[in-house]
Copies of this chain bind each other. A is one copy, B any other.
Amino acid sequence: MKELDPLLHSQLRLAVMSILMSVEEADFVYLREKTESTAGNLSVQLDRLSAAGYITVEKGFAGKRTRTLCRITPLGRAAFESYVDALRQYLPL
């Protein structure tokens, strides 16, 4: 049985990656609302995905307010696909 990438095998990180797989870019607020997570938890998990090179996190502005934009990287995309593939061993998908 293949092992499940522990970085992706976490509800919140998986949700974030899942969203970023389908959306090209998403900001912090959008991700927080869509995943119904707390800001603290989301911040930590984005850091870990970013540290692994699975996403990029770009801080900028939208008008006067700060805005944190996230995007999945090719590495992250590949990791996600391979995670899904590994999961198939465990599930009737």
Binding site for B on A (CB under 8 A): 1, 3-4, 6, 9, 11, 14-15, 18, 21, 34-36, 84, 87-93
Contact = CB atoms under 8 A, between A and B. Distances in A.
**Stoichiometry, copies per complex:** 2
Contact of A18 (B11, B21, B90): B90
B93 A91 contact: yes
Given A1-B35, A3-B11, A11-B4, A93 B93 contact: yes
A24 to B, nearest CB: 15
Given A9-B11, A84-B93, 9 more contacts: A1-B15, A1-B35, A1-B36, A4-B11, A6-B11, A15-B90, A18-B91, A84-B92, A87-B87
